[in-house]
Structure 1
């Protein structure tokens, strides 16, 4: 990330700006950024479309944003809805609303309250508070925790098209060292320590050290690996 010192891209109202390198990029209103963007900070207050890829030290979305390329950042915060057409790579991310990534997704530490639509998510620490229906085909991390949200919609979530459906995560495979799941439907869960909580429907569990299953959970088969 090689942002130009001093240059600032700022759009207020409705309009289009060119990408390139900048120290800060701020969109207040409804804006479009053409070309790739390499910026120290990217802040959206409203609605933004990025026609290329985005690199940033820090990305903050307060509203709606779509990135036609990929997103690479150290820290990402979403208060609203973010859609990334290609890959997403972040050291840390906090989502309060909706995140959709069509390509591979690598997030070191993810805290999410809302809805996720991801193909493959890899990370170190993943904590998901499910609000509505989420889907992650492949989920892999050292520590994974999911639970259903106990709170009502708040903030930007009230403005998003989140249908009144069950708070649940659908996945094909979930793999990690320590896994604590609630309200998850998955074909395979594999880990060192695995706890299957209420509302889970799991096809097969493979574990090496510890396995727990809640009475209100269904596990078709469980195998201790040696």
Structure 2
């Protein structure tokens, strides 16, 4: 009779080997040395996995580091995390800071903190209310970026629908930041069907329906159906294809 898969718990600075587990919990600066496969991995300190990780649920509440690839159904970050290679998942939620040095492949990515990707993003949806940095292509069916309080940079965007919006400052913040807004998105090129931009700096924007809103600086716009431009937006040229 096969033995049941055991749990693994590391406290302090302990080290355990990789392998197959049910639930894995790292408290402190514990380390898993090797590839790991489990149902649930929870890191509550500065824990580290030196290898690839595959699990249904990954939760980081401290400053966890995974030195290999990650495959998970859900990945939730409530602190800071670094992934040295690629991430494949269904749902990612960032409530703190994550640095992924490889690519992300997923269905839903929601970030309310800092999302930093060294490779590419491929997802069904990307929703962010914080800073986003992507060194490669950001490809998603639906992208919604709120650029208030942050400065984001993406090399290239490909999408069906894209909305980049600012959230207006209110109250005392409105008095402090009015006229000195230094937030927004910088991107080399954007291509999509429905595009709405605010506070965006871009070299090329291509779409079926394009709206260039407040605070934008765009070099060239190519549109197929509709085009609108705010009075204070700066566009060098807009061409109907």
Q: Compute the TM-score of the two structures, normalised by the length of structure 2.
A: 0.84
**Corresponding residue number in structure 1 for 2:145:** 128
CA contact (8 A) 1:30 1:46 kept: yes
Whose radius of gyration is greater, 1 or 2? 2
Distance in 2 of aligned mates of 1:5 and 1:34? 15
Q: Which residue of 2 aligns with 1:140?
A: 158
- Is the CA contact 2:217–2:233 (under 8 Å) kept in the aligned structure 1? yes
Distance 2:145 2:117 in 1: 16
Q: Quote how far apart the aligned CAs of 1:107 are.
A: 1.8
Q: For the structure 1 residues 104 and 5, does the alpha-carbon distance in structure 2 shift closer, same or farther, using more than 3 Å as the test?
A: same
Aligned position for 1:105? 121
Q: Is the 8 A contact 2:212 2:233 kept in 1?
A: yes
- Aligned partners of 2:125 and 2:81: how far apart in 1? 21
Asked if 1:28 corresponds to 2:44, the answer is yes
TM-score by length of 1: 0.89
Q: Unaligned regions of 5+ residues in structure 1, if any?
A: 153-163
Task: Tell whether the 8 Å contact from 1:62 to 1:78 is kept in structure 2 after alignment.
Answer: yes
2:20 touches 2:36 (CA, 8 Å); kept in 1? no
Map 1:55-74 onto structure 2 (within 5 A): 55-74=71-90
Structure 1 residue 166 corresponds to structure 2 residue 182: yes
Residues 40 and 179 of structure 1, relative CA distance in 2, 3 Å threshold = same
- Of 110, 131, 135, the residue aligned with 1:94 is 110
* Whole-angstrom CA distance in 2 between matches of 1:141 and 1:218: 23
Please say if residues 113 and 149 of structure 1, whose CA atoms lie closer than 8 Å, have aligned partners that are also in contact: no
Aligned residues: 211
Q: CA deviation at 1:188?
A: 0.3
Distance 1:91 1:151, change over 3 A: farther
**Range 138-147 or range 6-15, more displaced:** 6-15
In the TM superposition, 1:203-218 aligns within 5 A as: 203-218=219-234
CA-CA distance at 1:28 after TM superposition: 1.1
Shift of 1:6: 6.5
- The residue that corresponds to 1:155 in the other structure is none
Secondary structure in 1 aligned to 2:60?
Answer: strand
Matched, 1:7 2:25: no
Alpha-carbon contact 2:21-2:37 (below 8 Å) kept: no
Instruction: Report the equivalent of 2:99.
Output: 83
Give 1:199's aligned residue: 215
**Other structure's SS at 1:169 match:** strand
Where is the strand percentage greater, Structure 1 or Structure 2?
1
Query: Pairwise mapping of residues 173-188 of structure 1 onto structure 2 (< 5 A)?
Result: 173-188=189-204
Q: Which has the higher contact order (CA 8 A, sep 6+)?
A: 1
> SS of 1:29's equivalent?
coil
Cα offset, 1:14, TM superposition: 2.1
